Structure 1
């Protein structure tokens, strides 16, 4: 259980509480998807013994992030299992559904959608490989913060995108929950929540940008990423141009930039997975990496849109430009160069 107290400046506390000790559900929510999800409004009226308080920093959300990192990382495994089934079922449907004299799979854009699902499955398999071989969800995971942010955001985006491809393939029948021929409708509803829960992907992407900016030590962001272990292999191998990140970054840039960084991390993990697993992995990896490179180019295009003024200053009642997250791990003994700079704001030491 987590709690906050504002009596003397906001403080956070974390406790161990049994459900029988004053925990009561007062309203059950009905989720859009994930019908087995236990989701609702709870009331807690309990005395918690002192020995059940988790000792941790109480002035920021660092402990909350640490507790959320294992389930975020596990999204790679969840995504791989989900996409393995979606890939199998989408192919089976496309191969058996007759459109005139030929199966649905004979249509070229259908094959493109199937390839998008296949590559998403490959990407999540590589992320799952990283989870199983490099991360320990039972230990302190703060050192794995950037990798976990990338695993969660990329895996859940891949799940949602593939569910959409599958639903499009089966047409109107894919909008029908309980269809005897496919699970597309329920799959799409179920995956939607994963980009939101355990931290929305927009927030996690912003935090990933902030994490990297706080450690660039006076270099441009693209230069830092070119030498950072999680991103350098992909940048070197594919000559990725991330110079669009080297500008004054407003909050919207931080979100988009974090997504680009996550895609670069994913490319590095697909490369390592292909090298360590072998078999047909290298061939599968090449297609998956091409899809991820297109995603990065898409982010560069969105930076271009922002540069053309699609967000007009003063359109909204308020702005959070320059207001940065308090829940990213800070560098140990940061140097004066380790700062985050945001548009129109003084550098903010982390």
Structure 2
């Protein structure tokens, strides 16, 4: 009989806490490269990745709620550990469950459940980061297999994962590469499928996770090609959007930890004979983290309803980008506030908040930099506005399913015409505004089901403040540009 999820996640959380705080010291583990094998083994003995494996293969059923729950429980203790799980879940196990050839699924899933295997996804290349559609990794179809050649870099779990899903483009007879993208599963236990690690990077944070440069020169059997349902590009969007929709799981535990640490410090710390908590500015800062907690909670609840592998998410860019970009901004802000409130003790790499600043920072960059994602959000909405022949932002947002409930609260701020010819810096700001409306609505919907109304009210106050500040940047934007040859006539010593 399958263990109930509440019992499973409670057992996992308690064991992780004991492992990191009594049997080992997470503060020491987090500042050394990698984790000792004995620690990894004890973590993986809990079978955390079973949440992303279908029941017919011995897993817990690949339910989004459970996947987000395991990510949250892990990130409360260790953000790098949660990211490790996130890579495995969203970038390998779920794509394999949805698109993998049935001939290979059973054996691979068995190795994850019973032999502590791990897997990841390779898309990014040295010359093609966000420009993934121009990747140069190529494949040639042969009689019984596919031959792949190319380079990939900045893949989490470099040299550590047992399996990889590799993105490549078909090499045509002309020597050119096809426009579409295909995906292939590799098994590192087989010599002809091994990936060569050229070198490891000294990543600034996330020490637990190895990153590096990989050279691909291998062959895989025909049944290790993922089975696309339409085009490879749509499959890639489905995979990436599903991954972005699960970022709130990693953000949830992390933001809650920042809130708990900051709150505890401000209650116990005395300044001038009174609690730090009594200072008005401190209350404001704590309420900012708490607002992030509420927003992330709403994102998790909504993601659980719509990001399962049974759904095609290739067209869900607005919600996927809104969640990923906003929650990662909130993670970084929460860590910054926690460090500020913690005083000098927070400015240590072995302090959970100080470490959190460095570890959460790349979340704003990988899987699409936030500036790019906010721009895409604005582009999606502007395209929808033109299609509906509505140029007033407030009027349009009132008609949308993703923001119609909260838009009345912001109507006076959004009552303006969106004109053609916006510059990119305006598009980024517009995307930030829309993302806040979209995610606040998730909290509003959740409140109907019993989520605390006072948390929603405080969250709404902060989002209104954010929107007003952002609108000043949007409507009266700063058009400053860098002066490339700035050295001439700019040395201050010449003017004394």
Among 432, 436, 441, which residue is 1:259 paired with?
432
For structure 2, the residue ranges without an aligned partner over 5 or more in a row are 1-165, 486-496
Total equivalences in the alignment:
307
Matched, 1:236 2:408: yes
When the two structures are superposed, what TM-score results if normalisation uses the length of structure 2? 0.58
Among 13, 19, 26, which residue is 2:188 paired with?
19
For structure 1, the residue ranges without an aligned partner over 5 or more in a row are 318-350
- The corresponding residue for 2:202 is 30
Cα distance in 1 between the residues matched to 2:464 and 2:178: 42
Cα distance in 2 between the residues matched to 1:197 and 1:39: 12
For 1:62-101, list aligned pairs within 5 A: 62-101=234-273
- The corresponding residue for 1:340 is none
Contact 1:205-1:258 within 8 A present in 2 as well: yes
Cα distance in 1 between the residues matched to 2:464 and 2:235: 34
Among 445, 450, 456, which residue is 1:277 paired with?
450
Q: CA deviation at 1:316?
A: 7.2
Contact 1:77-1:128 within 8 A present in 2 as well: yes
Change in 2 beyond 3 A, CA 1:151/1:197: same
SS of the aligned residue for 1:199 comes to: coil
Asked which structure has the greater CA Rg, the reply is 2
SS of the aligned residue for 1:284 comes to: helix
- The corresponding residue for 1:250 is 423
For 1:1-350, list aligned pairs within 5 A: 1-4=166-169, 7-8=175-176, 11=179, 12-20=181-189, 21-54=193-226, 55=228, 56-57=230-231, 61-137=233-309, 139-179=311-351, 183-216=352-385, 217=387, 218-220=389-391, 222=393, 223-244=395-416, 246-248=418-420, 249-278=422-451, 281-306=452-477, 310-311=479-480
When the two structures are superposed, what TM-score results if normalisation uses the length of structure 1? 0.80
Q: CA deviation at 1:160?
A: 0.8
SS of the aligned residue for 2:220 comes to: coil
Q: CA deviation at 1:187?
A: 1.3
Cα distance in 2 between the residues matched to 1:157 and 1:127: 14
Cα distance in 2 between the residues matched to 1:240 and 1:77: 33
Cα distance in 1 between the residues matched to 2:412 and 2:183: 42
1:5-36, CA deviations, whole angstroms, 9 ceiling, x for partnerless residues? 68436623322222341312211112211111
1:262-309, CA deviations, whole angstroms, 9 ceiling, x for partnerless residues? 01101211111111124xx11110000111111111221111342xx5
Contact 1:234-1:240 within 8 A present in 2 as well: no
Cα distance in 1 between the residues matched to 2:465 and 2:170: 46
Which has the higher mean CA deviation after the structures are superposed, 260-269 or 212-221?
A: 212-221
Contact 2:237-2:313 within 8 A present in 1 as well: no
SS of the aligned residue for 1:139 comes to: coil
Cα distance in 1 between the residues matched to 2:224 and 2:435: 36
SS of the aligned residue for 2:218 comes to: coil
SS of the aligned residue for 2:357 comes to: helix
Q: CA deviation at 1:139?
A: 3.1
SS of the aligned residue for 1:299 comes to: helix
SS of the aligned residue for 2:210 comes to: coil
SS of the aligned residue for 2:397 comes to: helix
- The corresponding residue for 1:331 is none
Q: Which has the higher contact order (CA 8 A, sep 6+)?
A: 1
Change in 2 beyond 3 A, CA 1:28/1:240: farther
